[in-house]
Structure 1
Amino acid sequence: MGEIAERYRRRAEAFERKVAAVRPEQWDNQSPCEQWTARDVVDHVVTMHGVMLMPVARTLAAADDPLTAFQEARAAVEEVLDDPMLALTETDTPTGRLTTEQHIDQVISDDMVLHGWDLARATGQDDTMDPDDVERLWAGTAAIPADLMEKFRTPGAFGEGIEVYGPEVEVPADAPLQDRLLGLIGRQP
């Protein structure tokens, strides 16, 4: 198993634990994402799994239960990551040409860390992110060129209804790295 697949599995396991811990009455709780409830956060992560599968001609079946939907999406992505031919299939993405596994790593794998925080906040769970993930995400996000970061902050720049990051939230320079990362992507830590 490669590094990307291992990272995906570790992050998916952490996200799945958060989804499984949501009580039925919490699904409508407001998340830190202004337009989303806890259910919307999971729906977004599942939908993005489906988007990552499209270049390799895979689709997801609909599931009403958020946990089942995520588990099925996770299984489909893990199947792709386990197949070298599918994982190394190249595709055009908004940030350039990538292999399917690179695209998974840069989009949904990272999303599960950040949206795991959103889900935890919405449902009163521990919102501490893995410190290694925080460092990796900070390094990658802080290195995004200003013009591309501006595009990431522009609602609809990558398609109707898609907003990658919100406006930056000022966080003290000496704040914990997790808080600085969250502020950089537009979250109030």
Structure 2
Amino acid sequence: MSEIADRYRTRADIFAAKIAAVAPGQWSNPSPCAEWTSRDVVGHIVDMHAAMLSPLGRSLSPAPPVEEDPAAAFASARADVESLLTDPAAAAREIDTPGGRMSVERHIDQVVSADMVLHGWDLARATGQDDTIDPAELEEMWPAVQRIPEEMRIPGAFGPGIVVFGPEVAVPGDAPLQHRVLGLLGRDPHWSA
């Protein structure tokens, strides 16, 4: 198993645990993502898994929809992406992405794998769970989030309805690293429903 596959699996385990901890009445809770509920956060992650399959001409396997069973929808999407990561030929295949030409596994690592960290915070915050992001993840994210291009903050720059990152939220320079990372990713670290 590659380092990228291991990292994906760890992040997916954490995201799945957050899904499992959502109480039935919390799926309609607002999230830190404007206009999204807790269910919408999971729906986005499932959709992003589908986007990882698309360049290979594949789609998600049949599964219950997020509206009916968020945990089952995520588990199925996760299995589809893990099958790519555990297939050396598929993982190494070069594809064209909005971020340029790269291997399937690198695309997964940069997009959906990293997305689960941020949206795991969103889901935890929306449902009253522990929203602490692993300090090692924060250290790894910090250099990249300081270099987010402004065009990635423009709604629709990558297609209709697509918002990659919201406007930067100002936080003090001496704030905890998690708050600084979240602020650069367009999140208010003190958000509450």
Residue 124 of structure 2: aligned partner: 120
- C-alpha contact (below 8 Å) 2:63/2:72 kept by paired residues: no
1:44-63 equivalence runs, <5 A: 44-60=44-60, 61-63=62-64
Residue identity opposite 2:146 in structure 1: A
Q: CA deviation at 1:12?
A: 0.3
Q: CA deviation at 1:138?
A: 1.3
Residue 90 of structure 2: aligned partner: 86
Residue 162 of structure 2: aligned partner: 162
Q: C-alpha separation between the residues in 2 aligned to 1:131 and 1:8?
A: 17
Tell me the secondary structure at the aligned position of residue 92 of structure 1: strand
Q: C-alpha separation between the residues in 2 aligned to 1:139 and 1:19?
A: 29
Q: CA deviation at 1:57?
A: 2.5
Residue 73 of structure 1: aligned partner: 77
Residue identity opposite 1:71 in structure 2: A
- Per-residue deviation, residues 9-35 of structure 1 (Å, max 9, x unmatched): 000000000011111100000000011
Q: CA deviation at 1:166?
A: 0.5
**Which has the larger share of helix?**
1
Q: CA deviation at 1:62?
A: 4.4
Q: CA deviation at 1:58?
A: 2.1
Tell me the secondary structure at the aligned position of residue 102 of structure 2: strand
Residue 4 of structure 1: aligned partner: 4
Tell me the secondary structure at the aligned position of residue 97 of structure 1: strand
Tell me the secondary structure at the aligned position of residue 76 of structure 2: helix
Q: C-alpha separation between the residues in 1 aligned to 2:81 and 2:171?
A: 35
Unaligned runs of 5+ residues in structure 2 are none
Superposed CA RMSD: 0.9
Q: C-alpha separation between the residues in 2 aligned to 1:140 and 1:156?
A: 22
Report the TM-score when normalising by structure 1: 0.95
Residue identity opposite 2:5 in structure 1: A
Answering whether residue 28 of structure 2 is matched by residue 28 of structure 1, we say yes
- Per-residue deviation, residues 62-106 of structure 1 (Å, max 9, x unmatched): 422110000001111111000011111111111111111000000
- C-alpha contact (below 8 Å) 2:63/2:76 kept by paired residues: no
Q: C-alpha separation between the residues in 1 aligned to 2:150 and 2:143?
A: 17
Unaligned runs of 5+ residues in structure 1 are none
Report the TM-score when normalising by structure 2: 0.93
Q: C-alpha separation between the residues in 2 aligned to 1:107 and 1:21?
A: 24
Q: C-alpha separation between the residues in 2 aligned to 1:71 and 1:21?
A: 15
> How many residue pairs were aligned?
185
Q: C-alpha separation between the residues in 2 aligned to 1:176 and 1:67?
A: 31
Residue 136 of structure 1: aligned partner: 140
Residue 101 of structure 1: aligned partner: 105
